[in-house]
A and B are shown apart, each in its own frame.
Chain A
């Protein structure tokens, strides 16, 4: 019994075992790719910078290569999730600041919040500006305006 165990350890895993390990790793890689795609779609229109994943020509990857890729994907997914969580916090903060601006424009003079900071698409900017220009500045009459959007292409 002990001899058989020793032999099996010394000879290493059989091709059948290695094939099963590769299959498991490929399934993990497929799932992680799905998580990455979903996260990047959620991040749009932002494009978070993620660690580069290994890649090259089409070939039957060894267990080592598959493990390296799987680990790199894990790291990328973790980084992407952290980035998304951080963006959610930043958006919540921007939304809170916009609420304060709307409630008391005069108390937040010249403040600006972009649509992107709010996690929304487009190029709009919320800003506190004086009503009727110099007149509003002199009388302390401020209001919140949303700019009309993206500049036209030239």
Chain B
């Protein structure tokens, strides 16, 4: 019998940002990670999903409801989605360039699977290195994330103590989940046009893949 999944919780969006972007939200949960190696079941699902993308389908992804909502939001916050792809487009592009979905260990596979299935922006943090709950806020002057200086006002994912990464940028450094992580804080970012359901689904797929496949 599969273990019961932890319930997702709603993270905070700093008030000025919430007022500007009413659709911006953050859902998160902490999931156990059973081992570091790729799960054979997840690897098989990724291989099956690799067949889903041709060049035309990868391009058409930008017109799908969820991926296009992220593209619009990227523009609205100053990110060029043609230079910094939305999560779904990034995994689709990697699939095309590498001729398949690469395996990168249990955490990377779980995140990739959830993004491929739902197109939702989902990131994994080492739960032991993060002071939950996470939040979305503007970076303060002189703040850093993953060893890089952040311009004041940059929208970041943060915990109670520090900025973890720029919004929509995979985390780097000690807070990033990886092969060493025994539990992973999964953070899904929702925007206008992305319903509750795909966000919940993304968290559920990733948590399931982390803790058993």
Contact = CB atoms under 8 A, between A and B. Distances in A.
A27 B5 CA distance: 37
Contacts of B78: 54-59, 61, 65, 69
Contacts of B83: 55
B75 interface: yes
Q: Indicate the size class of the contact surface on chain A.
A: 20 to 34
A26 interface: yes
A112 B76 CA distance: 46
Contacts, number: 91
Contacts of A30: 72-73, 75-76
Contact of A57 (B73, B79, B82): B79
B176 interface: no
A108 interface: no
7 contacts: A34-B72, A55-B83, A57-B151, A58-B78, A60-B16, A60-B153, A65-B78
Interface of A: 19, 22-23, 26, 29-30, 33-34, 37-38, 40-41, 44-45, 52-61, 65-66, 69, 73
Interface of B: 16-17, 19-20, 55-56, 59-60, 62-63, 68, 71-73, 75-84, 138, 150-151, 153-156, 166-169
